[in-house]
Amino acid sequence: MDKTLVITGSTGGVGRALVSRVKDLGFAKVKLLSRSEEVRKWSQNGVDLESLNIDLLSHDEVSNFAEGLKKADENPWALLHLAGVTSNGMSWKLDEKSFDDVVQGNLKTSFLLSKHLIPLMRESGGGRIIFFSSIVASTGVVGAPHYCASKAALEGLTRALALETSRFGILVNAIALGYFNYGMIEDVPVDIQDKLRATIPLQRFGSVEDLLPVLRMLLDPKSGYVTGQVIHCNGGLRL
Catalytic, 179? Answer no
Q: Could you give the 3-state DSSP secondary structure of residue 195?
A: helix
Catalytic residue among 147, 179, 182, 225: 147
Calpha distance 90→111 (Å, rounded)? 27
Paired sense of beta strands 76-81 and 230-233, if any: unpaired
**Euclidean distance between CA atoms 37 and 147, whole angstroms:** 24
CA dist 236 and 233 (Å) reads: 8
- CA distances in angstroms from 124 to 68, 120, 127, 182, listed in the order given: 15, 6, 8, 34
How, if at all, do strands 47-53 and 40-44 pair? antiparallel
Q: Which of 166, 142, 139 is nearest to 152 (CA)?
A: 139
The whole-angstrom separation of Cα 73 and Cα 7 is 18
In whole angstroms, give the CA distance from residue 21 to residue 172. Answer: 22
Nearest to 94 by CA among 144, 134, 166, 20: 144
Active-site residue list: 147
